Amino acid sequence: MNKLISLKLFLFLLIIPLTNFGQNSDIDEWRELIKSTNFHKITIKEDGVYKITYDQLKVTGFPIANIEMNDLRLFRRGVEIAIKIDDFDNDNIFDPEDFFIFYGEKNNSLGDHDLFNDGEHNINPYVSFFTDKSAYFLNHKNVNSFTPPKRINNSNYNSNGLVDEVNYFAKKLILFRGDDVNYSVGSYAKGLGSNSERTVFSSLFNEERGWTSFNYQWLKTETVFDINLDGIDRTSNEDIILKTRFKSHIYFDNKIEYKYGKDTNNLTTLGTEVVPSYGASKLLTHNLPITTISSQGNLILSAHDLNSGNLPTQTNQFGVVYFDILYPKRLDFNNQQDQIMYWLGKSAKKIKVDNYNSQIIFLDITDPYNAIELEVTNSCAVLPPVNSNNERKVIYSSSFNYPLETHVAHFESFEGTNETDFLLISHQLTQQSYGSFNNVAQAYADYRSSESGGEQIVYHADIDALINTFSFGDFSSLAVKKAIDELSRKKLKYVLLLGKGLQEDEHHKKNQLQGIDNLIPSYGYPCTDQGYVFNLVDKPTVSIGRISATSASKAGAYLSKLIEFENMDFRNASKRKALHLSGGSDINQINQFSAINDSYKDILENSLLAGSVTHLKKVDDGTYIGTFDKSSFASHLNNGVGVISYFGHSAPSTTGLLLGYPDNKTNNYNNTVYPFMVMLGCSVGNVFISHDDVLGERWVNSEKNGAIGFWGSTSLITVYDAETIGDQFYTLAYNKYVGKPIGDVIVALQNQLIDQNSSPNIIKALQNFTLVGDPALSIGIEKSDYWIDDVTYTTYGTTDKLHHSQDSTKFTIQYGNDGIIWDNEDREIVINIERKYPSGIISETSMYAILKDTTTSGKVDIMVHYSDLDSALGGGENILTFTIGNQLSNDNKTINTMDEYDFNNNTKTLSLFYHFDPYKAGDGEDITSISNNILDISVSPNPASNTLSIQRLASKFKSLRIIGVNGTLYQEENISLLNDVRLNISNLKNGLYIIHLIGDNENKIVKLIKN
């Protein structure tokens, strides 16, 4: 017989409605209910009758001594279910010998409905995306005074006139989830493929999706399923009832021919079904004659795509969603084994129960929320008639099941979250102590709330409490999704998941027994966290990251690095350095990928950060792997870099350069500056797998070295899409969003590309990118920090001394910037010189330079040409102040409107002595060379002895000063609105003076000789 050949999936599957598998309460009703009382959570994993005892509840802290048994209520998915109480002495007190029972079912996909835009797309009703475990909640208070507690009622329908049933229907479910020993190659389907190569898939729940079979070998022959129907009654007159669905995994329609029979050489065609590209078939139901079965009870089913192409990747690219088989089986209770039985039809059924005793439970579980006990009288029980033709389900149980665990249930209220902008979700394993942190998760929340951590308004949620609140206790992405949805309608900006998650096809496989827990669920498949926030509204507004840690020690190691990183001096030169790595499988790819990284180099070097780039390339040595200088990589890493950008082939555990892991000491990665890693390759961002060699996880979690963040795709990605995303990252991260949190950069990048390029490929590639790290982390420098350091001067003439009457002086100014470049339209900065004479008067001479700001440091020469007033007033000790800023005022002064780290280093002050001779310029020009003939103002007499008359002022001036040539102020008068002024100068000593007339828009100087 042929073994199952499962069919490889590349696509999202969507879900069909579930009408017979349970109920869901409205989540808001459930949240209202849990506010008013306490609950204990009971977890099970198999269908069966469960017994809850006194001892089980007592050890969990259930207040068993203070309750009345009649008050007990049990809930599943927010809906109360029926229980049966066994109160041994009928005293309504839960005594040690008392217990209650209920019928419980393992989890199915009903709880996954709300993940979809359309619940009809949930095509597999039997299998949850996440877990078989289902949660029940026990309450001991009267949560609903209007309805009595729900109990399992008895049915004693009269059997008169009924004939004993000989057969019942058994159910055989063939599911392709990867954990069935006979059908172990099932897989969870990817989403909608948006290109013919099927390298880009949606991670969102927008189309049909679910678990199906998987043609992993690209076989061209028909897929054959050999199914044994254990205990089938081949003498029965009943047909076998087969239900199935198919799912397309390719960009063209499948035309699926499916057959049945006793053996592979004698198959009969059941039908031919056209399944639209990436879609799912309708539910297909067939009645098969009992003669179809072999003497060993085997049924052969096969399927083949008649539209298969010539290439292996075009062959049989469809999946079987499930086989649901009802087949007749003879009633037999002699061995008292637990059985689940089905009957069809509306009429009553008389069931003969041999060897019945009081320990046997016989329940009608057609409605699992309202089980009915079938009373056995004279070894017979009757299944009452019904009004519908639904499958009627009965359980015969001679033993009890016990829950996996029972404990106090906790919930999240989300009260006081109107201002919350940072949501931290943690798991109990990351809430333990590590180092100086008593509770790593709480320490993380406290740090983010602190001034040094950004003063975020943090809500810290426990994942188990979220699951209890938003997904009725069942482990599911829905809990995280609904929590984010609610807070995103307020002020939420950042989400951090503090715990590892696994992709769905990993979480269900039994061969994944490596002790790695799925602490906080991932979203969609290809697996990503981005799906949680990508379609909250029309465009992304919330950013999300994950610390993929399975313990408090790993989470604490990252928190320690984060605190160190964010409190690092902004002047650390490594923040400006980038290390670009290029791979490729041949010389053409090496050149292509290197050119792409060089284009990123141009962006960074001409950005506001004015960064520097080192580019390390793979060397083509004729092999596929090629060679790469890891020692050079280690050297640059250890010397400190702010960002590492990789472009090339990759996988979740490695890159084409075989970089290895920082926690492997043989690599000599001893960096103490933690770079942010932009990884532009296939699947390199997938940290959702269950083995230890996960590249992004180990680089981020590595203690005291490694990376501060890791951003990459969890799925396949085209070169064009990777290049486009990388280009936008560099453009935004180091210009408009330089110094902003990395989450802001990612959100801006997503919106930019959605606006510019709405192709399905780009959008789906964006969905697949996942951030390993904190979204509130800033990897760059946010502000400017300009400074002036050294100033030298050069004189012109016969002496190297500064002289009050020199024509000009050249000042050479050393300036720099430890922050980002000032981002104005022209990227200009201004350096201005202010000169203060010995008298305290400020020179009116314009002395400045306007510079194109494209570098982090430099020198500039400013040539200062002096005025007559400078010559007249500048002799002696002058104070020169050199200021760097971003604007020039109307009067040619520097204005600084930048947001800088430190304004104290924007100025440099020098005290310079300008030599002079009051009369004959021993070391310079004679000041008497200043001519008064150019003035239209009359000063007489000049020379003067006692009285001085100044005429024709025309009311232009407000004040008048008489200043000595050494800069001393001797006399100052208010002459506002005067046309003529008379001054008494008899107290002045004989000598040379300057008269300085000061107005709003005009200044004048006049030489005066006193004799």
Residue predicted with more confidence, 369 or 937: 369
> Is residue 622 assigned to a domain?
yes
* pLDDT value of residue 1008: 84
Tell me the C-alpha to C-alpha distance, in Å, between residue 647 and each of 84, 603, 713.
63, 16, 12
Average pLDDT over the chain, rounded to an integer: 86
The residue-averaged pLDDT of 188-211 equals 71
* pLDDT value of residue 1010: 85
Contacts of 894 by beta carbon, 8 Å cutoff, 6+ apart? 830, 831, 832, 848, 883, 884, 885, 887, 888
Count other Cβ atoms within 10 Å, centred on residue 859: 12
Where a domain ends, among 155, 189, 206? Answer: 155
Where a domain ends, among 279, 309, 330? Answer: 330
Structural domain containing residue 671: 413-781
> Is residue 168 assigned to a domain?
no
* pLDDT value of residue 703: 93
Contacts of 60 by beta carbon, 8 Å cutoff, 6+ apart? 40, 406, 407, 408
Tell me the C-alpha to C-alpha distance, in Å, between residue 235 and each of 124, 297, 329, 902, 907.
32, 12, 10, 93, 102
Quick one: 881 and 973 in the same domain? no
Q: Which two tokens stand for residue 435?
A: 């180092």
Can you give the pTM of this predicted structure? 0.85
| Virtual torsion, Cα 486, 489, 491, 494, nearest 10 deg | 60
pLDDT at residue 507 greater than cutoff 70? no
Which amino acid is residue 478, in one-letter code? L
| Rounded Cα gap, residues 271 and 288, in angstroms | 12
Q: Which residue, 615, 693, 622, is CA-closest to 653?
A: 693
* pLDDT value of residue 603: 92
What is the torsional sign of CA 14, 725, 777, 498?
A: positive
Q: What is the DSSP string of 429-489?
A: GGSS-BTTBSSHHHHHHHHHHSTTTT---EEEEEHHHHHHHHSTTS--HHHHHHHHHHHHT
Quick one: 591 and 656 in the same domain? yes
Q: How confident is the model at residue 73 (pLDDT cuts 50, 70, 90)?
A: very high
3-class DSSP state for residue 631? helix
* pLDDT value of residue 188: 65
| Rounded Cα gap, residues 21 and 366, in angstroms | 9
> Is residue 578 assigned to a domain?
yes
Q: Which two tokens stand for residue 627?
A: 């060679």
Q: What is the CATH number of the domain that holds 1002?
A: 2.60.40.3080
Measure CA 50 to chain center.
Answer: 40
| Rounded Cα gap, residues 42 and 375, in angstroms | 28
Q: Choose the weakest-confidence range: 389-398, 559-568, 673-682, 973-982.
A: 973-982
Quick one: 845 and 954 in the same domain? no
Which amino acid is residue 429, in one-letter code? L
Q: Choose the weakest-confidence range: 26-30, 116-120, 212-216.
A: 212-216
| Rounded Cα gap, residues 598 and 604, in angstroms | 10
pLDDT tens string 622-654: 665 667 888 999 999 999 999 999 999 999 999
| Virtual torsion, Cα 867, 868, 874, 879, nearest 10 deg | -20
> Is residue 390 assigned to a domain?
no
Determine contact, residues 542/776, Cβ cutoff 8 Å.
no
Determine contact, residues 40/59, Cβ cutoff 8 Å.
no
Quick one: 793 and 772 in the same domain? no
Contacts of 306 by beta carbon, 8 Å cutoff, 6+ apart? 255, 256, 257, 272
Provide φ and ψ at 482, rounded to 5°: -70, -35
Which amino acid is residue 746, in one-letter code? I
Beta-bridge partners for 784? 900
Tell me the C-alpha to C-alpha distance, in Å, between residue 237 and each of 219, 267, 347.
38, 21, 18
Determine contact, residues 51/83, Cβ cutoff 8 Å.
no
Q: Which residue, 721, 649, 716, is CA-closest to 10?
A: 716
Q: What is the CATH number of the domain that holds 696?
A: 3.40.50.1460
Distance from first CA to last CA of the chain, Å, rounded? 132
Quick one: 466 and 574 in the same domain? yes
Q: Which residue, 565, 639, 576, 641, is CA-closest to 611?
A: 576
| Rounded Cα gap, residues 542 and 146, in angstroms | 42
pLDDT at residue 691 greater than cutoff 60? yes
* pLDDT value of residue 624: 59
* pLDDT value of residue 212: 86
Kindly report the length of the chain: 1011
| Rounded Cα gap, residues 925 and 224, in angstroms | 110
Q: Which residue, 988, 997, 998, 993, is CA-closest to 1008?
A: 993
* pLDDT value of residue 934: 39
Quick one: 747 and 795 in the same domain? no
Quick one: 64 and 120 in the same domain? yes
Quick one: 742 and 612 in the same domain? yes
pLDDT at residue 919 greater than cutoff 50? no
Quick one: 285 and 300 in the same domain? yes
> Is residue 361 assigned to a domain?
no
> Is residue 33 assigned to a domain?
yes
Quick one: 738 and 881 in the same domain? no
| Rounded Cα gap, residues 559 and 86, in angstroms | 52
Q: What is the CATH number of the domain that holds 248?
A: 2.60.120
How many domains in the chain? 5
Q: How confident is the model at residue 758 (pLDDT cuts 50, 70, 90)?
A: low
Tell me the C-alpha to C-alpha distance, in Å, between residue 39 and each of 57, 102, 323.
12, 17, 38
Contacts of 473 by beta carbon, 8 Å cutoff, 6+ apart? 41, 43, 134, 135, 136, 137, 409, 467
Rg (CA), the chain: 42
Quick one: 511 and 634 in the same domain? yes
Where a domain ends, among 313, 330, 347? Answer: 330
> Is residue 378 assigned to a domain?
no
Quick one: 725 and 767 in the same domain? yes
* pLDDT value of residue 235: 92
> Is residue 839 assigned to a domain?
yes
